[in-house]
Amino acid sequence: DAGVIQSPRHEVTEMGQEVTLRCKPISGHDYLFWYRQTMMRGLELLIYFNNNVPIDDSGMPEDRFSAKMPNASFSTLKIQPSEPRDSAVYFCASCRDRVSGANVLTFGAGSRLTVL
Amino acid sequence: GDSVTQMEGPVTLSEEAFLTINCTYTATGYPSLFWYVQYPGEGLQLLLKATKADDKGSNKGFEATYRKETTSFHLEKGSVQVSDSAVYFCALSDQAAGNKLTFGGGTRVLVKP
């Protein structure tokens, strides 16, 4: 398996532009997570899906952020409009199930976003 | 709520030195504990885990023992290599909190030749 695949790896955009980050989880993994990593706040869980359904989006910072999972093999995280404080590395991760102990996430390589 | 506290870095040491990264946790239930490692430019990957008290997780020369009495899961390696330079994250998964994975802030380790 190719692992969790994220695109783009790097994105530089200007304030106010729309940003779309993409993720392909590992086949057969029922859970998908979006995390954000910054120096100031560390690793933050934004949202997670189970069987394509959003379960907990309490970590989504504000209405400018939205996430979708139209099918088991694809998810997007969209920021519209983007702001400089959104600059971060965004990680997608997936796992097969969430039984404690088997809750082992596989992370993608991340998408580094810079908003000027 | 659940939380994980780990020592702040950076930790700088020489090759073949002994490494310890402290990790303590707070959880409402009986969590599983994990160490993840993030190499430069990459995503996090599981290093080791322990699912119950007194379990020892080990991988690549790293070890950590689940200590319920001290709510700790310290990471150790007897002889580090330059290739161990990375950021290490302690994490817990608490069934009482819906198995949400909670991460510590990460500890950057730099091993010099």
Query: Residue A39: which residues within 8 A CB-CB, separation 6 or more?
Result: none
Confidence tier at A42 by pLDDT (50, 70, 90): confident
A108 touches chain B (CB under 8 A): yes
- Chain B residues whose CB is inside 8 A of the A91 CB are 43-44
Phi, psi of A86 (to 5 degrees): -85, -5
The secondary structure of residue B52, as a DSSP letter, is S
pLDDT at A101 over 60: no
Query: How confident is the prediction for chain B on average, in pLDDT?
Result: 92
Say if residues B96 and B50 touch (Cβ distance below 8 Å).
no
Surface of A (13-42) touching B: CB under 8 A: 33, 42
CA atoms within 13 A on the CB side of A31: 21
Mean pLDDT of B25-53: 91
pLDDT, tens digit (0-9, with 9 covering 90-100), for A2-23: 799 999 999 999 999 999 999 9
Mean pLDDT of A39-45: 88
pLDDT, tens digit (0-9, with 9 covering 90-100), for A80-94: 999 999 999 999 999
